[in-house]
Chain A
Amino acid sequence: MAELTFKDIIKPENLAYTKSKLMTDNVMHYCPGCGHGTAHQVLAEVLEEENLQSKTIGITPVGCSVLMYNYIDIDFQEAAHGRAPALATAVKRLMPDKFVFTYQGDGDLAAIGTAETIHTCNRGENILILFINNGIYGMTGGQMAPTTLEGMKSSTSPYGRNVSTMGSPIKMANIVAMLPGTCYVTRQSVNTALGARKLKRAIKKAVQYQNEKRGTCFIEVVSNCPSGWKMTPVESNKWMEENMFPFYPLGDIKVPEEK
């Protein structure tokens, strides 16, 4: 069999996955091997398939995904660090028929924005919170995050996270699952095709629950940070599977009763 050229590979019939029509042509600033690009693509696929472009308002955080608004062709608001759920609360209350989501990292959601996260979930705002947990501050250059694992090295825990002085990694999904306001809490990943498909199914459920006004949907994506972790993409995925997944196990934490 003749070897496929690039021209052949990009022919529609040879592609297993295609770029969502809602993804723009802007070149992403994410590092090679980073999970953000896949998470964006999966989200865009759902918005496209559910015909939500004209109904969606996304809220971006401060962190690596601060420029997410350049990559998906929907209306976006750029929040201050940690405040995305407050913006989303107002957007949804003022325009209840829109689809509203926040996209936040671990520093944004679990450190500086903890109060907004907890209280938005506690009020049961009908929004989706997409939480990308890679256990590090990526944008600022690899500092310790609230979700950094015990013993894990970062630029501000150079000898490893010492839980007796730096606190223990925080499991936000489990915390918000305890609140009556959340209807659907799940932990997913994007490091494999299977993981990405499961995330897509989870986001589709969140769309359905938001339409049904069931409460807050909280989807955590356990992801990697090759640059912050100082690993190759392949190493970082292996390290994530061996260290992050045992502490942040994948799967549903809270699911609503089907109507």
Chain B
Amino acid sequence: MEKELRLMKGNEAIAEAAIRAGADGYFGYPITPQSEILEYLMEANPQVTTGMVVLQAESEVAAINMVYGGAACGKKVMTSSSSPGISLKQEGITYIAGAELPCLIVNVVRGGPGLGTIQPAQSDYFQATKGGGHGDYHLIVLAPSSVQEMADFVEMAFDLAFKYRNPAMILSDGAIGQMMEKVWLKPQKKRSEEILPWATTGKPATREHNIITSLDLDPERQEKFNQKLIAKYREIEEHEVRYEEFMTEDAEYLFVAYGTSSRICQKALQLARAEGIKAGLLRPITLFPYPKKRLNELADTVKGMLAVEMSAGQMVEDVMLSVNGKTRVGHYGRMGGMIPTPEEVVDNLKTFIKG
């Protein structure tokens, strides 16, 4: 397959990009609003073209554990789900983080808690960026804001996951998953045949047996392992922060927003500028690692920052930690599947400015 321009849903773009990125396996379970990923892959049937395995599991729990098994063989494997299903996967995700395995997990977020709604939300930010399951760990979290990025971030997430032997997550939402945009698809990549030295592929005479586990009953060794993980996360924070800025040069007030909210803020800042308010926008692309340093720098030049999220206020805590009291931080959020309009965001910016 050559480079190609297509009109696609965000979910379909993820599926097609996974095939083209040379993924070895996808394991999933239907849940709205992301079932198109599994449907698309089943119809595309890459088993006969690239050899990629696609399997509908009996549950989200089974699917993430299939990802664990595949990742432990050094294979490029992934799963996708939406909020309630991602909660079910947390057990598997913490094992994968504890066993230091690379994989991709896609969360097309919907409103919660519980069964919630099937409409878009950003209320899984804490779960995605602060661990999610038990134990001290982090995922590498990428937040696409367009169908193009849904496609592009698949390969980026796999690359980061393998670079750091750490699970990576694409944190999207129902709006980006369901909307259609034009998307440039990359040419087909060949699936890797490399046998990774740590992977369980059958023990040859030339090496010790490989054991993939997250268990160490010796607390001193386990603490050393925890410290090793923390060092890895610090390295990721050092090298992998990604973000995008809009009109920050002369901004007096800064929107901080990711994904769908960041697109709304792009419009809102134009409306605000038309009214003479010097607004800017910082869009975190990586949610872990978070662009703390850049926000801290911007705190020196702006009069305040307004975090706009489709949640009760989750990412805003990272904004506060980043600026560490240097500037005022506010929050505007809609919940339960409601998406804010640019006009109401501007109104809330004005209220924030008044203090």
Q: Which residues of A contact B (CB under 8 A)?
A: 53-57, 59, 66-67, 69, 73-80, 83, 86-91, 93-95, 98, 115-116, 118-119
Contact = CB atoms under 8 A, between A and B. Distances in A.
A55 B27 contact: no
A22 to B, nearest CB: 10
B254 interface: no
A226 B169 CA distance: 46
B202 interface: yes
B200 A76 contact: yes
Given A56-B202, A90-B66, A76 B53 contact: no
A94 B24 CA distance: 7
Interface stretch (B55-63, B150-158, B182-190, B285-293): B55-63
Contacts of B166: none
Contact of B202 (A55, A87, A88, A118): A55
Contact of B211 (A69, A80, A94): A69
Contact of A115 (B59, B66, B209, B211): B59
Contacts of A95: 73, 201
B106 to A, nearest CB: 17
Given A54-B203, A75-B211, A86 B65 contact: yes
Nearest to A99: B202
A89 B95 contact: no
A89 B215 contact: no
B67, B202, B213 — most chain A CB neighbours (10 Å): B202
Top 10 closest A-B pairs, CB basis?
A: A87-B69, A78-B213, A86-B65, A90-B69, A119-B58, A75-B200, A90-B66, A83-B65, A90-B70, A86-B62
B205 interface: yes
B72 to A, nearest CB: 5
Interface in B22-62: 24-25, 27, 53, 55, 57-59, 61-62
A77, A83, A89 — most chain B CB neighbours (10 Å): A77
B69 A77 contact: yes
A77 B212 contact: yes
Interface in B264-320: none
A74 B204 CA distance: 9
27 contacts: A54-B204, A56-B203, A57-B201, A59-B69, A74-B203, A75-B209, A76-B211, A77-B68, A77-B72, A78-B212, A78-B215, A80-B68, A80-B95, A83-B61, A83-B62, A83-B68, A86-B65, A86-B68, A87-B66, A90-B53, A90-B69, A91-B73, A91-B200, A94-B24, A94-B70, A115-B61, A115-B62
Given A78-B212, A83-B61, A83-B65, A89 B200 contact: no
A116 B27 CA distance: 14
Contacts of B70: 90-91, 93-94
Given A66-B215, A93-B53, A80 B91 contact: yes
Contacts of A119: 57-58, 62
B51 to A, nearest CB: 9
B209 A83 contact: no
Contacts of B55: 89-90, 93
A75 B62 contact: no
A67 to B, nearest CB: 8
Contacts of A83: 61-62, 65, 68, 92
B205 A94 contact: no
A115 B63 CA distance: 12
Interface string B126-161: 000000000000000000000000000000000000
A116 B58 CA distance: 7
B69 A88 contact: yes
Contacts of B62: 83, 86, 89, 115-116, 119
Given A75-B209, A91-B72, A94-B53, A80 B66 contact: no
A54 B66 contact: no
Nearest to A89: B66
B211 to A, nearest CB: 5
A79 B73 contact: no
Contacts of A74: 202-203, 209
A207 B261 CA distance: 55
Given A83-B61, A115-B62, A91 B214 contact: no
A79 B67 CA distance: 11
A116 B61 CA distance: 9
A69, A73, A79, A86 — most chain B CB neighbours (10 Å): A86
B20 interface: no
A77 B200 contact: yes
B25 A75 contact: no
A148 B27 CA distance: 34
Contact of A53 (B63, B75, B203, B211): B203
Nearest to B24: A94
A80 B92 contact: yes
Contact of B200 (A53, A57, A93): A57
B210 interface: yes
B105 interface: no
Contacts of A118: 58
A95 B202 CA distance: 10
Contact of B65 (A54, A75, A80, A93): A80
B108 interface: no
A116 B65 contact: yes
B203 A86 contact: no
A90 B201 contact: no
B77 interface: yes
A69, A75, A90, A94 — most chain B CB neighbours (10 Å): A90
A62 to B, nearest CB: 9
A64 to B, nearest CB: 13
